[in-house]
Amino acid sequence: MKSSSLQIHHARILTPRGWINNGSLFIKDGEIVGIDRGDGSGVESSGQLAIAEEPWIQLDAGGRMLLPGFIDLHVHGGGGYDVMKGSADELYGMCRFHASRGTTSLLATTLTASHEEIISALEAAAGAVQDSDREPNGAHLLGIHLEGPFLNQTRCGAQNPEDLREPSIEEFESFWSASQGTIKLMAIAPELRSAEEVIVHAVDRGVTVSLAHTDADYKTMKKAVEWGATQVTHLFNGMRPLHHREPGVAGAALMLDELAVELICDGCHVHPDLVKWVFDIKPEGKVIMITDSMCAAGCPNGEYLLGKLPVLMHNGQVHLKLADGSLGSLAGSSLTMIDALSRTVAFTGKEIADIVPALTIHPAIQIGVQDRKGTIELGKDADMVIIDEEFQVYQTYVQGNRVYDATSR
């Protein structure tokens, strides 16, 4: 549904100032233009909003929660669709699937592969990102997350070790060109040769650098922060663990306040009590919820491919398939953002309002889109999700377009 003038009323709206009970939101041309707190104080508006003169299409939220849409910075696929297939149809399919789970913006995340395969995926994603004439029917593709190939084989996890290689400015620049400048986030192991110059170069390009699949020691992690790195990829996974004599990557991620940390809160990548501890010790704004989901998210258990590697999804968990058919290490996830929210609330015991920023404004800040995304405020994009008390997604809106409606399935 596309609407130039929409009023969503009878909603419990989460704003940066707290909850608005029985409030209304006014949306015009994809932007939030009015907020009614439902307390008789009138409509707070941007510009000259003539409420009585607009032909507002009315939507009753039925008292459900109206939240800012979720922003997933680390997502390889979902709904059977895969970023690395290098196809706009695959990307749009992934965006439709994740919109049905409350995601309104995401970064198409690549995997370690050959140079040619990565270039193909980047070119397809760049075309989809810059297709401004296409009416949204799924999550907004904000840009690209380049995960690999500049990673450490020692901590490669489900990244194909045969395609890992040393970082170089030349290869980064070829990726940058293929992406048409749409790379927003890059993962890299800082201990690799030439990592320093590539990190500095990427930061100069405006790319957020995340430290990933790394066996770095604490000293190297501190240096990487000096070079401009500001994030750590899927905390505790694919990295040197914390040791009391060598804090390693995990220790640095927890102790260095400059670093935001990604968390996969599916209950198997990180212990639930550890999730709560991370929220307790990291500064405000430095915990980023992600899915790291691959194509099997939303699909039945069975065998799939993650890049070139065979994986098995069993009981909703994705593992590498070993030569004897048994389960190997974790290989991405089947998590969705709405499930990440519900599980994190359960794991931490915190209120929904305390967790939502980790799925919305905090990731928006990490990639520099907080002026348009991440909160329900006047002048921002009308990216929203309506959910009930059971964490069921009712409707999802992207720039004022209804891209998912549970009642029309």
**5-63+376-408 and 69-366 share one fold:** no
Residue 240 one-letter amino acid: R
Average pLDDT over residues 206-235: 98
DSSP 124-172: HHHHHHT-TTSPPSS-EEEEEEEE-SS--GGG-TTS-GGG-----HHHH
Residue 107 one-letter amino acid: L
Distance from C-alpha of 5 to C-alpha of 302, rounded to nearest angstrom: 44
Cα–Cα distances (Å) from 185 to 150, 258, 290, in that order, read 13, 16, 13
Q: What percent of the chain has pLDDT over 90?
A: 89
Cα dihedral 118, 121, 122, 125, rounded to 10, equals: -160
Strand ranges inside 174-298, DSSP E:
183-188, 208-211, 231-232, 260-264, 287-290
* Cα dihedral across residues 70, 71, 73, 74: positive or negative: positive
Spelled out in words, what is the top-level CATH class assigned to the domain 69-366? alpha beta
Residue 3 confidence class, pLDDT cut points 50, 70, 90: low
pLDDT tens digits, residue range 14-36?
Answer: 999 999 999 999 999 999 999 99
Catalytic pick from 163, 215, 266, 292? 292
The pLDDT, as a whole number, for residue 131 is 87
* Cα dihedral across residues 193, 109, 208, 118: positive or negative: positive
Spell out the residues 6+ positions from residue 39 whose beta carbon is closer than 8 angstroms to its own. none
Domain ranges in the chain are 5-63+376-408, 69-366
Average pLDDT over residues 366-373: 98
Judge whether 292 counts as a catalytic residue: yes
Binding-site residues for substrate:
158, 237-238, 245, 269, 330-332
- Residue 47: is it exposed, middle or buried by C-beta count within 10 angstroms (0-12/13-18/19+)? exposed
Does domain 5-63+376-408 fall under CATH 2.30.40.10? My reply is yes
Q: Is the pTM of this model over 0.95?
A: yes
The pLDDT, as a whole number, for residue 9 is 95
Region of 227 please: left (phi>0), alpha (psi -120 to 50) or beta: alpha
Number of H helices, E strands in the chain: 10, 23
Binding-site residues for Zn(2+):
147, 213, 234
Q: Is the pLDDT of residue 351 over 70?
A: yes
Q: Is the pLDDT of residue 135 over 80?
A: no
The pLDDT, as a whole number, for residue 66 is 98
Binding-site residues:
147, 158, 213, 234, 237-238, 245, 269, 330-332
Q: Go through 20-36 and write b for each residue having 16 or more CB atoms within 10 A of its CB, e for each that does not.
A: beebbbbbbebbbbbbb
